[in-house]
Structure 1
Amino acid sequence: MDDALYLGVDGGGTGCRARLEDAAGTVLGQGIAGPAATRFGIEASWQAIETAARHAIEEAGLNGTQVGRIRAGVGVAGIGRKGARAALEAIRHPYASIAFTSDAMIACLGAHGGRDGGIVIVGTGTCAIGRIDGREMKFGGYGFPISDEGSGAYLGLRALQHSLRAHDGREGGSVLTRELMARFQDDPAEVVLWMDRSTATDYATFAPLVLRQADQGDAVARHVVQDAAEHVNGLVRALLAEGAPRVSLIGGLASALEAWLAPDVRRRLSPTLGDAMTGALALAGRASD
């Protein structure tokens, strides 16, 4: 009989959540805490992980001996930063075992029920993550603007580039380019001023407009979205070429962009079987159903 307890922790950049289950998958306790991304520092990251875990353990009513039966799986945003994983693994803990990986990898594990597969994340940024025969892989996701092609930020950037060229008369405009320039009083200097203080998230705020205009037939918007979709096609195909048995599309823009993907790519996509917490518990060692 498996008397182990399993703790899954999803340590993201906006918050941290934990869930404690027994071997049968019964939820015993849950907890939340603040951001756990390593960019806030290893100490702050561990404090968030520990707080969320403690809340879950307290809700479950465990004593000290029972805590020693816990096997923990923790996904942490930014664990790829130099030295971050080693620093986290060096911290003393009360559990039977603890395993760390990235928050993206637990999302991948969750999407495929703890089994091999890959995910392409399409949101403010883009990234492909996969695990095949114990081998982890990553494509893209190096940060905007040098990477994250096909993302919400990329859609916004490309739309603004076309809008400025149309304003100059270097290419034809459209409803999209005119609406974007109107947001800056039709003044390129205002666009430059905005650019100087803008982040990937700011660029991504234009993505819904681009997608809406593309759906309505705007030529420039369609060109931008088709270009973005081709980059997402490439990420999916890269995972398939590595032998991923399943690939899922996740993220805030996944459903909107899926309709624009190539037919061969859409046919190969699989629905997600679980979420990041499912993946964290699989990392901890809880067998999938």
Structure 2
Amino acid sequence: MTAYFLGIDAGGSHCRSRLVDSTGNILGTGKSGPANARIGIERLHGALLETCAQAIEAAGLTTEALPTISAGFGIAGISRPGVCEQLEALSFPYARVRFETDAAIANLGAHCGADGAILVIGTGSIAFVRIGDTSFSIGGYGFPISDEGSGAALGLSAVRHALRALDGRTKPTALSSAVTARFDHQTPRVIAWMDQATPRDYAAFAPLVMDHADAGDEIARSIVEDAALHIERFIETIFERGAPRCALAGGLASRMRPWLRARTSAMLSEAQGDPLDGALLLAGYRPQ
């Protein structure tokens, strides 16, 4: 018998968990670092178990309670070939485990399980549409070939601008100076960083880009305006493909929305819940 429900939102920047009882009372939460499919199945498994354990420990539950927990995992990148099969072969000490993409649980949470679409703008970007028994994603194929309008894309554009400013191809701006300052204004250090940089590392520059765009930096504004165009095209495509409503989600969503045209912003609905609410619905929790 399920007594507790555990929701997990595992993305490119962090992994979060929330444990509730059958009445929806939050008993414990957890948080750790990146937990997407790109880090490898063993590391992913460890990160998921760690984040779940934090919530369970915070709730004061013992190992005897684990078989009474139903868990729903929303994990970035599990649509890649073979990943779901690998996850299903792993051991989890819970009564029931279900896996979906992080975009799918964001959609469930935003519309309380009803039909609709979600556009996630965070480290990456992806749209997820659910209409009746049909669901599909748009974009989200991974950085750098996809993830338009995302934090990683903003960071990549900023680093490119900074390098061009360093070697004299473009005029330095406050943004380029702020980026290169993190590397002591030395191109070789940028290159060495690039060799190991992850999407999360690029996305770490996104707040800097947004701050300088808000302050009027010409290049920063052009980067953000280009990202806004990609986001608007996402939204247009979502409605063209039949979604009755669309909400934004992700860490960058609130900062990007003011850069959208008024008519595009007016098409959006407010999210009724967050991805962890969606993960709990996936786990089988039903609000009283």
* TM-score bin, normalised by smaller chain: 0.7 to 0.9
Aligned residue for 1:75, secondary structure, equals strand
- Matched residue, 2:223: 224
The one-letter amino acid paired with 2:153 is Y
- Matched residue, 1:10: 8
Aligned residue for 1:79, secondary structure, equals coil
Whole-Å separation in 2 of the counterparts to 1:44 and 1:184: 32
Aligned residue for 1:245, secondary structure, equals coil
- Matched residue, 2:19: 19
- Cα RMSD over matched residues? 3.5
The count of residues paired between Structure 1 and Structure 2 equals 281
Q: Which runs of 5+ in 1 are unaligned?
A: none
- Matched residue, 1:131: 130
Q: 1:221 to 1:57 in 2, by over 3 A?
A: closer
Aligned residue for 1:259, secondary structure, equals helix
Whole-Å separation in 1 of the counterparts to 2:171 and 2:92: 62
- Matched residue, 1:116: 115
Query: TM-score under structure 1 normalisation?
Result: 0.78
Query: TM-score under structure 2 normalisation?
Result: 0.79
1:173-194 deviation digits (Å, cap 9, x = unpaired) = 4332344344444443333233
Q: Is the 8 A contact 1:229 1:257 kept in 2?
A: yes
- Matched residue, 1:207: 206
Say yes or no: does 1:40 pair with 2:41. Answer: yes
Whole-Å separation in 1 of the counterparts to 2:20 and 2:63: 11
After the TM superposition, which residues 161-240 of structure 1 pair with which residues of structure 2 at under 5 Å, given as runs? 161-240=160-239
Q: 1:278 to 1:186 in 2, by over 3 A?
A: closer
1:177-220 deviation digits (Å, cap 9, x = unpaired) = 34434444444333323322322222222222221121121111
1:129-152 deviation digits (Å, cap 9, x = unpaired) = 222212221122222222222122
Aligned residue for 1:121, secondary structure, equals strand
Q: 1:34 to 1:244 in 2, by over 3 A?
A: same
Whole-Å separation in 1 of the counterparts to 2:26 and 2:224: 44
The one-letter amino acid paired with 1:257 is M
Q: Is the 8 A contact 2:24 2:287 kept in 1?
A: no
Whole-Å separation in 2 of the counterparts to 1:243 and 1:155: 29
Q: Percent identity?
A: 40
- Matched residue, 2:145: 146
The one-letter amino acid paired with 2:204 is T
Aligned residue for 1:108, secondary structure, equals helix
Deviation at 1:263, TM superposition (A): 2.1
Q: Is the 8 A contact 2:70 2:94 kept in 1?
A: no
Say yes or no: does 1:79 pair with 2:85. Answer: no
Q: Is the 8 A contact 1:16 1:33 kept in 2?
A: yes
